[in-house]
Structures are given as structure tokens and as C-alpha cells.
């Protein structure tokens, strides 16, 4: 298969949802005392990515669910979670904060281990130039053959270092509701269903292995029902700028996580509405021209991509005409071009022959 330009692939990769960001080295942020009674481990879903409130290279938002819990419950928080972390990063950089005096531990981990960033990046492309199924299949192989052992190692290390702690291990929410409402992505209904199914399988594994380790698993998919990307009251950001905020729970989503995790840590249930609700800046809406520029950078009219379009049953002439509209000085024409590319992708997705 052909590949889009490096610039566009980098842009989309930075959005990675279950991906949860790019791993960056950083010193942990501690709220107060050295021994702290609450340690937050994990990836960007625990670091609060998506709340538009980055504090360092690991993100560690004051509106991430660990910070919300600590603030409401009067806990001392040792914020170890880091955007982009996988199980190796937790073992190398985070578990050193645990000891016999640690009272509570929470975490989300596993999404980066199965390469969901690459999966999302591939599946976001127009179907005639992507290998979404291949990426999902590869991710599932890792999930089924490699991740169980990695999770067991992480959970065993936590249990050994913090034998007296209440440990809550949260899963991930479904990202999609079956509708793609962005001009910049080309997720088909079938692709979104497979991505959600992959999330469910990941959650099931995390639940089984964390429970076997004696920890409390926190299911959040039901909590996020009706709040996926493109829902009227979404708690997960769509593709937005800055791109690293994309496909992560927003401030309302982090309040939902806090409410779900609290009981698992032996804390009083925290109704979502009772948690701090500081005003959040609205997710920046990129201009139509900015969106068109991103799609233009996919280089859909390159010889290789037009050849792939023809092979997939997509009319190369229609691709050329739609892309040409993206360069128009008339915003209405630009919108038409974006809509036409979405329609071509939908037609391709609806054709059983396009899937071999």
C-alpha cells in the first residue's frame, strides 16, 4: 500500500487515542510529602491528556481524574502517570514511587503496548489507501500473545512494592458511536465497530489479569455510553488542535473517571457533578481551510494513491476533482470537496468487494 506524506502521518499519529501520546522523559510531579498516600500510575488517560491543561512533558493535568480525586478527598497525590507510557515505562519510571506506606494506587495501561496509535492513524485514512484491518489484526495478536505477560509483570511489581495499597485498575471507554463527523478522518462504520471491539477485548484482558492480581478493576465503558466522539454530549475529544488533545477524555470525561475510580480506592463515591468543574476552553475548531490543508497533505492525487484508488474501485477522476476543490478560494467549494471525499470513502466502505 502507498503511504501518505510524513507531515500528515505525524499529525494523525499525534492524535492517537488509545495511544495515548508520545513518550517523553520527565520527572514525576509530587503534590506534597515524600511518602504520599495516593500514587497515580499509567498512561495519558491517567495523565489527563485531553483537558487542555498540560503542565509538563508528561502532561499531568490538574483536571486529570487523579488530581480531581486527590482534591476532593484531601489526598496527597504523587502524580507519576505520563502520556505515552506503556508497561515497560511503568516498570522503569513509575513504580519506584511505591512502598509499604502507599495507601492507594490507580492506573490505566495497555493501550500503547498494543500499538493503538498506529491502528488509529491507519484507520483514519481514506479506505482505498489504508490497511486498517491489517493494523487491527496485528494489534490483536500483540494483545493476545504478549500483553498478558506484560500486565502480570506490572501488577506483580505493584503488589510487591505496595502490599498495603488499595489498587484500582481502570479500563478504556469506547471512542466511537458509529459516525465519523470530522472532515479530517475517514473512519467507516465497520472500522469503528472493529476499533470498539478491540477496546472491549483489551478491557476484558485488563479486567481478568488485574482481578487475578487481587486488584479492583474499574469498568468505564458503560459510564461513557452516549458520550463518545460525535455524540451530542461527547466526553472524548474528536480530532482537534493541538492534536495531542485528540481522542482523549475531556474534563467531563475525567470527572466520570474520578467518579468511577473512587469506590475502587475505598473512597466515598464521588458523583460526577460534585467534582470540581472549572470552565474548560472549547476545543479549537480548525478552519475549513486548515482542515483542507491537512487533507491536501495526504497527497491523494499522487500516482501511487490514484493507482490504489482505481484498484479499489474508486474513480481516480472523482478523487482529482474533489481534491482540486480543496484549493479553491471559495470556502463553499472547499466544503464541497471535503464532502465529496467523504462520500467516496463511504461508497468504498459500503462495497464488499473493497474488502477482498
Residues labelled catalytic: 44, 248
Per the CB < 8 A criterion, the answer to whether 104 and 75 are in contact is yes
CA dist 248 and 120 (Å) reads 13
**Angle at the Cα of 247 (from 94 to 3), degrees rounded to 5?**
100
Please, what sign has the CA dihedral across residues 121, 126, 127, 131? negative
Give the Cα separation of 79 and 68 in Å (integer).
12
Please name the residues in contact with 82: beta carbons below 8 A apart, sequence gap of 6 or more: 23, 24, 26, 43, 44, 47, 58, 59, 60, 89, 93, 94
Number of H helices, E strands in the chain: 13, 6
C-alpha–C-alpha distance, residues 78 and 76, integer Å? 7
Give strand pairing partners of 42: 108
Strands 29-30 and 77-79: antiparallel
Residues 6+ apart with CB under 8 A from 298: 4, 5, 8, 125, 126, 129, 305
DSSP one-letter string for 302-347: SHHHHHHHHHTT--HHHHHHHHHHTT-S-HHHHHHHHHHHHHHHHH
Q: Which residues contact 255 (CB under 8 A, 6 or more apart)?
A: 65, 68, 272, 275, 277
Q: Determine contact, residues 197/146, Cβ cutoff 8 Å.
A: no
Long-range CB contacts (< 8 A, 24+ apart) of 323-332? Answer: 323/295, 323/296, 326/292, 326/295, 326/296, 327/292, 327/296, 331/288, 331/289
Amino acid at each position: 500500500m502507498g503511504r501518505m506524506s510524513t507531515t500528515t502521518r505525524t499529525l494523525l499519529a499525534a492524535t492517537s487515542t488509545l495511544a495515548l501520546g508520545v513518550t517523553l522523559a520527565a520527572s514525576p510531579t509530587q503534590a506534597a510529602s515524600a511518602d504520599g498516600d495516593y500514587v497515580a500510575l499509567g498512561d495519558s488517560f491517567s495523565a489527563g491528556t485531553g483537558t487542555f491543561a498540560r503542565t509538563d512533558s508528561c502532561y499531568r493535568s490538574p483536571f486529570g481524574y487523579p488530581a480531581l480525586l486527590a482534591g476532593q478527598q484531601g489526598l496527597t497525590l504523587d502524580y507519576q502517570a505520563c502520556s505515552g507510557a506503556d508497561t515497560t515505562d511503568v516498570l522503569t519510571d513509575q513504580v519506584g514511587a511505591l512502598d509499604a506506606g502507599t495507601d492507594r494506587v490507580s492506573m490505566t495501561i495497555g493501550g500503547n503496548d498494543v500499538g493503538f496509535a498506529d491502528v488509529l492513524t491507519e484507520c483514519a485514512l481514506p479506505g482505498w489507501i489504508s490497511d486498517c484491518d491489517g493494523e487491527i489484526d496485528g494489534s490483536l495478536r500483540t494483545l493476545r500473545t504478549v500483553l498478558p505477560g506484560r500486565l502480570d509483570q506490572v501488577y506483580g511489581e505493584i503488589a510487591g512494592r505496595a502490599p498495603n495499597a488499595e489498587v484500582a485498575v481502570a479500563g478504556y471507554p469506547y471512542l466511537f458511536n458509529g459516525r465519523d463527523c470530522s472532515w479530517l478522518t475517514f473512519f467507516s462504520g465497520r472500522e469503528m465497530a472493529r476499533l470498539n471491539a478491540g477496546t472491549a477485548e483489551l478491557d476484558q484482558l485488563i479486567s481478568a489479569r488485574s482481578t487475578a492480581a487481587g486488584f479492583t478493576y474499574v469498568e468505564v465503558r458503560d459510564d461513557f455510553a452516549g458520550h463518545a466522539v460525535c455524540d451530542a454530549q461527547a466526553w472524548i475529544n474528536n480530532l482537534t488542535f493541538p492534536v495531542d488533545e485528540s481522542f482523549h477524555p475531556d474534563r467531563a470525561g475525567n470527572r466520570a473517571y474520578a467518579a468511577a475510580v473512587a469506590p475502587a480506592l475505598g473512597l466515598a463515591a464521588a458523583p460526577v457533578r460534585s467534582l470540581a468543574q472549572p470552565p474548560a476552553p472549547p476545543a479549537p475548531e480548525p478552519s475549513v481551510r486548515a482542515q483542507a490543508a491537512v487533507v491536501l497533505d495526504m497527497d491523494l492525487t499522487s500516482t501511487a494513491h490514484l493507482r490504489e484508488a482505481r484498484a479499489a474501485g474508486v474513480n481516480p477522476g472523482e478523487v482529482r476533482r474533489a481534491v482540486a476543490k480543496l484549493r479553491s478560494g471559495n470556502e463553499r467549494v472547499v466544503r464541497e470537496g471535503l464532502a465529496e471525499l467523504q462520500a467516496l470513502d463511504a461508497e468504498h466502505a459500503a462495497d464488499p468487494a473493497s474488502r477482498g
